[in-house]
Structure 1
Amino acid sequence: MASGWRSGGVQPAGIGRIVVWRGGSIWIGHAGAETDFHAHHAIQITIALSAGAVRFRRPAEEWTSYASVIIAAHQPHAFEASGELVAMIFAEPEWRQGRVLRERYPAGIEPLAADAFGDDVAQLAAAFHQGAANDELAARARAIPERLTSMQTAPARPLDKRVERAVEVLRERLGQTVVMADVADAVHLSPDRFRHLFLEETGIRFRPYVLWLRLEVAVALYAAGVSLTDAAHAGGFADSAHFSRTFKRMFGVPAAGIEPILGSG
């Protein structure tokens, strides 16, 4: 699932492309207006691909500039890099790369060394400039968290198999009403035991995680050119307003500001 995207309105959030894969995504392009404070479930790697820098700040703190940075899952932050070419790579903590990154960068906002990625950043920027196909752009993007996780001396503890199965069940049922007790039953756990295990393994409560998965589906479809309303319904949102509110809370910009443009397939 992938497409080009463009932000519209008086204060655009950027222009570029979005490519989504199971367990992550890349948002790459020229940044526009600064975002509001927001937080999301994914770990975020942000890299300035042009000569300038990206700026982040946490609530009650001043802006700090970075060439490249990693933001922990659920860390509230605002972002600004007006006019800069920027890559934002998201890794979900349930997947292998995300679990390693979650252990290595458990909290806050941390700078990443300029030499941490080898040639991967240059190759990603070149792929974007050349209008590479989505699969190639995704592969170039995924090489960056892979490079970071390869530095880990010990493997991350694998996700509990029952929670892993629960995530698959959730994905299968996103178009329906999702009831925690039903998912717990599907993985042979009591609702109370499942609730605690799910939070322990993923770092997020069950209901917000369902919302995150719904958002992931809707964003991918909307970026691919599906209408805001149809994308919202496909993701299991009651309406486009619910989708838009959730999007802004998690990404800091309005969902209605993203309009599809022609992208590579």
Structure 2
Amino acid sequence: MCKFFPVHSQLYMGRGRALYCGPLQHLEAHVYGATVLHVGIYQPFRIRLDDGAWRSCRCALVPPGIRHALDMAGGVHGKLFVERDGPDAPAFRERFPYTATAVSFFEDVEAIACFHRIHEEDPGHAIVEQYVDKLLNSRTQIISEFDPRIQRVIELICGEPDRNFSQIELAALINLSPSRFLHLFRQHTGVSYRRFRSWKRMMTAFELLHTGDNMTRAALDAGFADATHFSHSFRETFGVNPAPVFRRIDRFEVDKD
């Protein structure tokens, strides 16, 4: 079968968001801890929610916590993850309106062109940031309504990813009951505390893997019990095993500014 598009893969991380472009086949049912914009860069892809029917589309926006499977049939897929506690969350939601419990299917010419340009040009991280900023109109300041108490908890668990803070401990820290804390946390992040913590650990592991190139070491330092725990969590989150993914990434850049 002839391919008329580049087959390299790219991963860019920074500022509470991550962007991936690359050829994929099938991803088993998985659940992200961040909102994701899926884009078929050259052709439509198929998506299935829970155990429902497959649906073909060019773009899909999936809020955090919604289980779905993907079938790209060898096409090039683009993903833009935007964390709901990150600086781009308000602009992202204004650019791509969505509800917290439903997947949106659509075709966005500007989004497709943005991913197409990134994949074709294979630019450095700074240029990618410019393209995504333009897509989201991130330079327009939008006031975030993220609860500062939950933000404090997130900063704490990100600062010490290898520590297992209990729900009771965190609730007491911000003067809430455990049940109220868990409700408020899910309300603002879209997922449970445990799933969100696992997502943040996963992002930390990616950054450590970028600098150290040792998957087991990165997993341990990010708070996973061992390499098996990391692999299991990765598959639950992304629908595929981690080793083949990182072996095939041609460009991997992280911006911590």
* Same fold per superposition (TM over 0.5): yes
Q: CA RMSD in A?
A: 2.9
Match for residue 192 of structure 2 among 205, 213, 220: 205
What is the identity, as a one-letter code, of the residue corresponding to 1:177?
A: N
Alpha carbons 1:55, 1:64 under 8 Å: kept: yes
Find out whether 1:108 has 2:99 as its counterpart. Answer: no
Asked if the contact 1:26–1:138 (Cα under 8 Å) also holds between the matched residues in 2, the reply is: no
Listed as ranges, the matches of 1:161-200 within 5 Å are: 161-200=148-187
Q: CA deviation at 1:35?
A: 1.1
- TM-score of the two chains, using structure 1 as the length reference: 0.79
Q: SS at 1:106's partner residue?
A: coil
2:82, 2:252 → 1: CA distance?
A: 22
Query: How far apart, in 1, do the equivalents of 2:252 and 2:32 lie?
Result: 27
Name which of 29, 34, 41 aligns with 1:37: 29
Residue 204 of structure 2 aligns to a residue in which SS? helix
Task: Indicate yes or no: 2:46 matched with 1:59.
Answer: no
Moved more, 234-243 or 157-166: 157-166
Q: CA deviation at 1:103?
A: 6.5
TM (normalized to structure 2)?
A: 0.81
**Partner of 2:126 in structure 1?**
135
**Percent identical residues:** 22
Unmatched tracts of structure 1, length 5 or more: 1-13
Unaligned 5+ runs, structure 2: 1-6
The correspondence of residues 3-82 of structure 1 with structure 2, limited to 5 A, is 16-31=9-24, 33-50=25-42, 52-82=43-73
Aligned to 2:3: none
Q: 1:128 touches 1:137 (CA, 8 Å); kept in 2?
A: no
- Cα–Cα, structure 1 residues 113 and 127, in superposed 2: closer, same or farther, change >3 Å? closer
Contact in 2 for aligned 1:42/1:93 (Cα 8 Å) = yes
| 1:55-88: CA deviation from partner (whole Å, max 9, x where unpaired) | 1011332211111121122111110112222211
Q: Given the superposition, is the C-alpha separation of residues 23 and 206 from structure 1 closer, same or farther in structure 2, using an over 3 Å criterion?
A: same
Alignment correspondent of 2:80: 89
Give the C-alpha shift of residue 200 in structure 1: 2.7
Q: Contact between 2:157 and 2:165, CA under 8 Å: does it hold in 1? A: yes
SS at match of 1:177: coil
One-letter amino acid matched to 1:80: D
> 1:143/1:184 Cα in 2 relative to 1: closer, same or farther (>3 Å)?
farther
Instruction: Pick which of 69-78 and 218-227 moved more.
Output: 218-227
